[in-house]
Structure 1
Amino acid sequence: MVYNSIRPGQVWLDTEGKRIQAHGGSLLYEDGYYYWYGENKEKTTGKDSIWHWGVRCYRSSDLYNWEDMGVIIEPNTEDKRSSLHPTACMDRPHIIYNQVTKKYVCWLKIMTIDGPQTETVLTADHLLGPYKIVREGIKPLGMSAGDFDLAVAPDDKAYYYFERVHSETICADLTDDYTDVTGYYSTHFPHPLPPYVREATAHFVRKGRHYIITSGTTGYYPNPSEVAVGDSWHGPYTVLGNPHVDDSSETSFHSQISSVFKVPGKKDLYIACADRWLPNRMDVLYKDCERACSLYADPDTATNAEKQKELKALAEKIPFRESLGIGVDTSVADYVWLPLKFTEPDKTHPQGQVLIEWKDKWCIEDYE
C-alpha cells in the first residue's frame, strides 16, 4: 500500500505490508531521509513474558511510506540478566549524535515492576548500528529514572530530561561523550503521587523557547497531556495546560506522546508522535484511573467498606496488570501523529498556547 497522508489512529503498514513496530519512538533526519526508530513489539502478544524484540528502525523520504531497515539493537536471548533480554522491560529508546566523538549514543529505559528503574547506554559508529553497550544498570544521580528524552544544543552540549519515578521531572546535563550525567541538574513539576506525576517527557525548541510535553502516570491507559514552556534548557518552566483541545475523554485522543519532531524544510511544522498502546481498550477513561489512584493513596480505604467496594469495581474496569502492559498484545498498538498549533501570547494566555487538534488525516504538503 502507498500512503499520501498521515492517518492518526489507523493501522500503519511498512512498504512490505507489515505493521510498523517502532513504539515509544523518535525521528531523525539524515542525508535526505527520515529515520523512525522505537521498541519492536512484533512478538509482544501478551501470551508469554516477551516485552520487546530489540529496537527497530524505518526509513522514509516523505514521512508517509516507511521501509523496514531491520532491528538495529538486537535482543539478547542468551543472558536473562541482560537489560536487552526480551523479558526485560526496555522502553523508549532515544538516539543522539555526538559531533566530537562521532558516535551515535542511545539511551534505553529499563523498567522493573518492584525495583528501581535504570538506564542502559549504547554507542555506534552508524545510525543503523551495530550498537555496543557501554553502560548498564545506571541510576542517574542515584535516582530511579523513568521515561525520558535527550536533547542536543547548538553548542553540542546535551541534556537528559527524565521522570524521577513517581516524584518529579529532572533536567540533567550529560557528559561530553553523552554516556553519563555530570551531576548538575534541575527539578520541575513535583507531584505527590500518580496519576499526577509527569512522565513520557518530550522536549523541543521553537523560536528560542523550550517546551516540554508530558503525560500523567497511568501506565498504558492514556490520560491528559500537559505542556510547559521555559526560556532555557533548565527552565524554569510555566505550565500551559492540556494541549489536546476538544478531547472530552481526557485521554490525549487515546494516546501518549513519545517525542516531538521538527520537520526540516518546513517553516513551523512540529509533529507530536504518539502511541495508542491499547486500541482495543479505548473504553477506559482517565477519570476512572484518577479515582482509583486516589483510593489507593487514601489510608481510609483499608477500613472503609464503601471505598473498598468502589475500588474493587474500578479494578475490574481498569486491571492493574493490564495498565502495566502485562498480558496485553501491544504488537497491534497504533500511532497517533498530529501537528502542533501555536498561538501568540495574549491577555488570557500571556505565554501563548500549544494546541493539538484531532485530524482524521493530514498532509505534510499543507504546511509551509
Structure 2
Amino acid sequence: MYDAFYPGQVWLDTEGKRIQAHGGSVIYIDDTYYWYGENKEKTDGKNGIWHWGVRCYSSKDLYNWKDEGLIIPPEPDDPDSSLHPSACMDRPHILYNQQTKKYVCWLKIMNKDGTQSETILTADHILGPYKKIREGLRPLGMNAGDFDLAAAPDGKAYYYFERVHTETICADLTEDYTDVTGYYSTHFPRISPPYVREGIAHFMRKGKHYLLSSGTTGYLPNPSEIAVGDSWHGPYQVLGDPHMEDPSHTSFHSQISCVLKVPGKKDLYIACADRWLPKRTYLNYQDYADNFEAIFNPESGKVPDWSVVERKDKEHGIQAGAENTDIADYVWLPIIFENDRPVIRWRDSWKLEEFE
C-alpha cells in the first residue's frame, strides 16, 4: 500500500504489477478516480508491438490503483485496424457527454503512410465496452498529433491538438463530441521541431485557461511551456517553462499528459507525466536539441550530430534505438501558483495532505 507519491520511481498496481497507463488521463466519477492510458506491457522496442490496447485503473486515494483491465482491447487479427498492435496508437482521452450519456474516447493514430488521424469510440460506461464510431478522421483536413479534450460546464467541448510540426489548434467539437464543427483557432506557430508544441494539456483556474505543452523530440524529453488565456480560444500568452529549477531542461525527464484538479482540495492541481526513458536520465536537452532542428528544418544549416548522446549512452551501458517503453515510469508533481504563474518543483515524495 502506498501513502504518498514517489515521482520517477516504479509504480505498481494493487496486484504488484507495473501500471500501464501511458500518455493518458485521470477522470473522477462517483467518488472514484479512473486512470487510463496506453498499455505498453508488450512493447520492448524490437517486436513491432506499439501498444496492447488501452488499460484502465481505479482508485479511491490516487496512490493505490486497481487494474480494471483493457477497456479498449487491441485488434491483432486485423492488420488494417487502427487498433492493431503494430499501429502507432497514442494518447487516449475520454470525455463524458451529458447530452448523449456516452463516454467518448479519441485516439491519435500515426499511420503507415506518414499521415496522422483520429479514431473515435463511445461507451455507456467508463470501463466500456467501447464501439468504434469513426476511424481515419483527419480533423479539419489536417494531420492531427498529440491532443487534449476539454469541456465547459455547459457541455460545450474543445479539442486542442498539434497540427503536426507546425502549430497548435483549438477546434470546437460537435454536440456529440465525435467530430469537429469546423470552427477553430491557431496558436504557437513554430518553424519545426524541436520547438513545435505537442503533448497539450488544458486546465482552468480562477477563470483562466492554461495550456501546458512539450517540445517535439520523440521520446527524448524537453522543456515544457505554459501559456495562459482568458477564453478557450485564447489568445494565449506564453509564460515560459514551469520547471524553472530543472538544470537538465527536460521537465524532470518527463512529458506531461494531463493535469488533474483534485476534488475537495482548494487549489491542488497535479501535473501527471510519463518518464518514457527512465534509464537515460543522464541526458540533458542540450545534448540533442539541435539535431531535431537539423533533421526537420534543412534551412537551419545545422547538421545532425549524435556523438554526445552516443558517448553518454556508451558510458552508461545503454543501447539506444529500440525504446523499451514497457518500463516507462511516471512523474506526478503538484503545480504551485506563484503570483498566478504555474511552477512545478521536484519532490522525491509528497502527499495530498500537504495541501488544503
TM score, norm. by length of structure 2: 0.95
* Cα separation, 2, equivalents of 1:136 and 1:326: 30
Amino acid at match of 1:357: R
Inter-partner Cα distance in structure 1 for 2:209 and 2:82: 32
Partner-residue secondary structure (3-state), 1:361:
coil
Structure 1 pair 100/361, CA: closer, same or farther in 2 (3 Å)?
same
Name the structure 2 match of 1:161: 160
Measured in 2, the distance between the counterparts of 1:317 and 1:113 equals: 32
Match of 2:224 in 1: 225
What SS does the aligned partner of 1:229 have?
Answer: strand
> Match of 1:3, as an amino acid?
Y
**CA deviation profile, 1:175-209 (whole Å, cap 9, x unmatched):** 00000000000000000000000000000001110
Aligned to 1:348: none
Residue aligned with 1:222, SS: coil
Aligned length: 349
Aligned to 2:316: none
Aligned residue among 308, 313, 317 for 2:307: 313
Q: Which amino acid aligns with 1:264?
A: P
Relative to 1, partners in 2 of residues 1:318 and 1:81: Cα closer, same or farther, differing over 3 Å?
farther
2:64 alignment counterpart: 65
Q: CA deviation at 1:343?
A: 1.7
Query: Which residue of structure 1 lines up, in the alignment, with residue 317 of structure 2?
Result: none
Counterpart of 2:254 in structure 1 is 255
Q: Quote how far apart the aligned CAs of 1:285 are.
A: 1.9
CA contact (8 A) 1:123 1:132 kept: yes
Q: In the TM superposition, what whole-angstrom CA distance separates every residue of 1:223-274 from its partner, at most 9, and x where no partner exists?
A: 0000000000000000000000210000000000000000011100000000
Taking the aligned partners of 1:150 and 1:262, their CA distance within structure 2 comes to: 15
State the Cα distance separating 1:46 from its structure 2 match.
Answer: 1.7
Question: Is the 8 Å Cα contact of residues 248 and 283 (structure 2) preserved in structure 1?
Answer: no
1:1-368 maps to which residues of 2 (within 5 A)?
2-112=1-111, 115-296=114-295, 297-299=297-299, 311=305, 313=307, 316=310, 327-344=322-339, 352-368=340-356
Return structure 1 stretches of 4+ with deviation > 6 angstroms: none
- Mapped to 2, the partners of 1:278 and 1:300 lie a distance apart of 28
| Distance in 1 of aligned mates of 2:196 and 2:112 | 17
Aligned mates of 1:107, 1:295 — CA distance in 2 = 32
Structure-2 separation of matches of 1:298 and 1:105: 40
What CA distance in whole angstroms lies between the structure 1 residues aligned with 2:323 and 2:94?
A: 27
Q: Which moved more, 1:260-269 or 1:310-319?
A: 310-319
Task: Describe the superposition over 1:13-49 as per-residue Cα deviations: whole angstroms up to 9, x where unpaired.
Answer: 0000000000001001111111100000000112300
CA distance in 2, matches of 1:233, 1:75: 34
Q: Name structure 1 gaps, 5 residues minimum.
A: 302-306, 320-324, 345-351
Deviations, residues 85-119 of structure 1 (Å, cap 9, x unaligned): 00001000000000000000000000136511100
What amino acid is aligned across from residue 349 of structure 2 in structure 1? Answer: K
Give the residue type in structure 1 aligned to 2:348.
D
Moved more, 288-297 or 9-18: 288-297
User: SS state of the match for residue 288, structure 2?
Assistant: helix
Equivalents in 2 of 1:163, 1:337: separation in Å? 23
Determine helix, strand or coil for the equivalent of 1:193. Answer: coil
| Kept in 2: contact 1:292–1:314 (CA 8 A) | no
Moved more, 54-63 or 283-292: 283-292
Opposite residue 340 of structure 1, the aligned amino acid is I
Kept after mapping to 2: 8 A contact 1:22/1:40: yes
CA contact (8 A) 1:39 1:53 kept: yes
Q: Which runs of 5+ in 2 are unaligned?
A: 314-319
3-state SS of paired residue (1:59): strand
The verdict on how the C-alpha distance between 1:130 and 1:354 changes in structure 2, with shifts beyond 3 A counting, is same
**Greater Cα shift, 110-119 or 124-133:** 110-119
Residue identity opposite 2:152 in structure 1: A
TM-score by length of 1: 0.92
Name the aligned partner's letter for residue 210 of structure 2. Y
- Which deviates more from structure 2 when the two are superposed, residues 257-266 or residues 280-289? 280-289
Give the CA deviation at 1:75: 0.3
After superposition, the CA RMSD in angstroms is 1.7
Whichever residue aligns with residue 328 of structure 1, its letter is E
Equivalent pair of 2:282/2:312 in contact (CA under 8 Å): no
8 Å Cα contact 1:289-1:318 kept in structure 2: no
